[in-house]
Chains A and B, each alone.
Chain A
């Protein structure tokens, strides 16, 4: 298994509160990604990073911000959580933008009530 650790694995939070999800990798891969998975939508890219302090938006970035201060850590922040952000969030890593395998973490289940 790829060395990817997501935390927390499960969280329930209230609408309007800030939430940060953490992804930690031990593979020294350059690229890191945050996806969300919702029934009927598959996985959709939120943000990705191609190096320390280098990030870019994905398909569904509204309401989310990210930061990468170290190669091994990629944080996803919901500044003010909404019920529409209830989802399963997956961190992923790869050592190439395309072609090479993307490895996924175990997921973080977030419920916004």
Chain B
């Protein structure tokens, strides 16, 4: 069965420092991978997605992620974070050509950016 694991539930970091939020997935078939961000009391907003092609994906707000098939990972990175990046981040996966509309989410990583 497909699953998504976010390795850190909370990540504190100082402003202007780099950050990496880790995500691993398990699937016996090809997958599509996504990162979503959720600001307090709001819905989820897509940051970036990997469907195929280049393994380095660039998203909004300066975030990027790298798909690593051999390590089944899709880690999210930003070279310099801002206070406004404080939010919860969700990694998600769906099977390529899946017959169910089931986007599997990780349990989330809370990024806290301190001044």
Binding site for B on A (CB under 8 A): 4, 31, 33, 40-45, 48, 50, 56, 58-59, 90, 94, 97-99, 101-107
Contacts and interface: CB of A to CB of B under 8 A. Distances in A.
Interface string B28-48: 000010101000011111100
Contacts of A44: 105
B51 interface: yes
Contact of A59 (B41, B94, B102, B107): B102
B101 A48 contact: yes
B79 interface: no
B57 interface: no
Contacts of B43: 4, 90, 104-107
A98 B105 contact: no
Nearest to A31: B101
Given A45-B103, A90-B43, A97-B100, 5 more contacts: A42-B90, A42-B106, A56-B100, A99-B96, A104-B45
Which 3 A-B residue pairs are closest in the complex by CB-CB distance? A104-B43, A42-B105, A42-B107
B67 to A, nearest CB: 14
A94 B32 CA distance: 14
Nearest to B31: A98
